[in-house]
């Protein structure tokens, strides 16, 4: 007697917020903070050096790749073991 299909729903795809990068140099720092104040934003920034920005971008790309691989792996397992179950995450 075969086991019943597990048939769990796939996780809901992410819907992320876009964030705004501000480049601040020794020359434009004053102007940047002034603009922030004018826009009613607290004149404070979290900073990254150019090298750390590069590392952050690469870290995110690696996380993205891992996410894609894991997601595809899940699809392949579902397709193999539960071929008759309709994927709930088909493109609309």
Based on CB atoms, which residue is closest to another protein, 27 or 42? 27
For another protein, the binding residues in 64-83 under the rule CB under 8 A are: 64-65, 67-69, 71-73, 76, 79-80
Neighbours of 24 (CB within 10 A): 13
Token match 């920034």: residue? 45
What's the angle, vertex CA 3, arms to CA 78 and CA 80, rounded to 5?
20
Q: Please name the residues in contact with 82: beta carbons below 8 A apart, sequence gap of 6 or more.
A: 5, 6, 7
The contact pattern for another protein, residues 3-42, with x = CB under 8 A and - = no contact, is -------xxxxxxxxxxxxxx-x-xx--------------
Binding site for another protein (CB under 8 A): 10-23, 25, 27-28, 49-51, 53-54, 57-58, 60-65, 67-69, 71-73, 76, 79-80, 89-92
């Amino acid at each position: 007697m075969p086991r019943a299909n597990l048939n769990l729903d796939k996780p809901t795809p992410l819907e992320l917020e876009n964030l705004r990068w501000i480049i601040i140099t020794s020359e434009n720092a004053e102007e940047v903070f002034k603009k922030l104040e004018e826009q009613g934003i607290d004149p404070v920034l979290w900073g990254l050096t150019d090298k750390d920005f590069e590392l952050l971008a690469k870290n995110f790309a690696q996380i993205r790749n891992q996410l894609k691989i894991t997601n595809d792996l899940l699809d392949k397992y579902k397709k193999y073991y539960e071929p008759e179950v309709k994927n709930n995450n088909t493109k609309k």
